[in-house]
Amino acid sequence: MLNLVIEITHPPYGHENTFAGLYVALTSLAKGMNVTVILHGDGIYTGLKGHLDPEKHINVISTEKQIEDILEMGGTVIAYRDAMIHRGVEHGELIKGIEVNESAELYDLIIEKTDKIIAF
């Protein structure tokens, strides 16, 4: 099975990048790929849980819901610990099911277990 990594480097709603990247992740899962989403840099903010009706408040699709759907469909979502520390984000603040990786684990995933990688 094709191992696809999708990197998310932006916060959830200020750019279309995050929605668009997660949308590719969902569609790739639906088409039978093995998908890992990496939250890196400001992408860490996309992992924060508890968004309150973003559809109603700011007319955007909930990226939290997208991440939950990715996890439910068997995708993996990984947050990069260094980027969390820079932003004061703790594991308990992340959407349930998101894993936290140290640099070595994260880079080994890319170097050893990834067939294709795309960045948003």
Residue 20 binds other proteins (CB under 8 A) = yes
From candidates 42, 66, 70, 95, binder to other proteins by CB under 8 A: 42
Residue 108 binds other proteins (CB under 8 A) = yes
Residue 16 binds other proteins (CB under 8 A) = yes
- Which residues neighbour 108 within 8 Å (Cβ) at sequence distance 6 or greater? none
Residues in contact with other proteins, total (CB under 8 A)? 33
Dist CA 85 CA 107 (whole Å):
18
- Which residues neighbour 32 within 8 Å (Cβ) at sequence distance 6 or greater? 1
Residue 70 binds other proteins (CB under 8 A) = no
Name the pairing type of β-strands 76-80 and 34-39: parallel
Of 41, 63, 38, the closest CA to residue 51 belongs to 63
Residue 72 binds other proteins (CB under 8 A) = no
Residue 37 binds other proteins (CB under 8 A) = no
Residue 62 binds other proteins (CB under 8 A) = no
- Contact residues toward other proteins (CB under 8 A) are 2, 4, 9-10, 16-17, 20-21, 23-24, 27-28, 31, 33, 40-42, 82-83, 103-104, 107-108, 110-112, 114-120
